[in-house]
Structure 1
Amino acid sequence: MLKFHPEGSKIILISTLITVLGIFGVDSLLHDNTVLRIIVQCTLLFLLIMILQFFRDPVRVADNSDNHVLAPVDGKVVVIEEVFEPEYFKDKRLMVSIFMSPINVHVTRYAVNGIVKYSKYHPGKFLVAWHPKASEENERTTVVIENRVYGEIMYRQIAGALAKRIVNYAVEGMRVVQGKDAGFIKFGSRVDLYFPIGTEINVKLGQKAIGNKTIISKK
Structure 2
Amino acid sequence: MDNSKWPARAVLPVAQPGLKFIFITILITGMLFYFGRMVSGSIFLAVTVFVCWFFRDPDRIIPQEEKSLVSPADGKVIIVENRGKSDYLPDPCIKVSIFMNVFNVHVNRVPFDGKVQKIVYHPGKFMNASFDKASVLNERNAVMIQADGGEKFAVVQVAGLVARRIVNCIKEGEQVKKGDRYGMIQFGSRLDLYLPLDFDVAVRVGEKTKAGATIIGYMK
| TM-score normalized with structure 2 length | 0.88
Conserved? CA contact 1:200–1:217, under 8 Å:
yes
Structure number with larger C-alpha Rg: 1
Q: Give identity over the alignment, percent.
A: 37
What CA distance in whole angstroms lies between the structure 2 residues aligned with 1:199 and 1:91? 13
Q: Secondary structure at the match of 1:145?
A: strand
Conserved? CA contact 2:110–2:181, under 8 Å:
yes
Looking at secondary structure, tell me which structure has more helix per residue. Answer: 1
Relative to structure 1, is the Cα distance of residues 13 and 82 closer, same or farther in structure 2, using a 3 angstrom cutoff? same
| TM-score normalized with structure 1 length | 0.88
User: 2:155 — aligned with what?
Assistant: 155
User: 2:26 — aligned with what?
Assistant: 16
Structure 2 unaligned residues grouped into runs of 5+: 1-9
| Counterpart code for 1:8 | G
Structure 1 stretches (4+) deviating beyond 3 angstroms? none
Query: How far did residue 46 of structure 1 move?
Result: 2.1
What CA distance in whole angstroms lies between the structure 1 residues aligned with 2:125 and 2:84? 21
Structure 1 unaligned residues grouped into runs of 5+: 31-36
What CA distance in whole angstroms lies between the structure 1 residues aligned with 2:94 and 2:114? 20
User: After superposition, what is the alpha-carbon deviation per residue over 1:72-92, rounded to whole angstroms, capped at 9, x for unaligned?
Assistant: 111111111112443232442
Conserved? CA contact 1:167–1:185, under 8 Å:
yes
User: 2:170 — aligned with what?
Assistant: 170
1:121-132 equivalences under 5 Å are 121-132=121-132
1:106-121 equivalences under 5 Å are 106-121=106-121
1:68-107 equivalences under 5 Å are 68-107=68-107
User: After superposition, what is the alpha-carbon deviation per residue over 1:109-141, rounded to whole angstroms, capped at 9, x for unaligned?
Assistant: 100000111111111110110112111111000
| Counterpart code for 1:199 | F
Query: How far did residue 45 of structure 1 move?
Result: 2.4
Query: How far did residue 13 of structure 1 move?
Result: 0.3
What CA distance in whole angstroms lies between the structure 2 residues aligned with 1:144 and 1:69? 15
User: 1:213 — aligned with what?
Assistant: 213
Aligned residues: 209
What CA distance in whole angstroms lies between the structure 2 residues aligned with 1:21 and 1:13? 12
Conserved? CA contact 1:67–1:149, under 8 Å:
no
Query: How far did residue 148 of structure 1 move?
Result: 2.8
What CA distance in whole angstroms lies between the structure 2 residues aligned with 1:89 and 1:64? 26
User: After superposition, what is the alpha-carbon deviation per residue over 1:23-80, rounded to whole angstroms, capped at 9, x for unaligned?
Assistant: 343xx356xxxxxx4xx45432221121111111111232345511001111111111
Conserved? CA contact 1:66–1:149, under 8 Å:
no
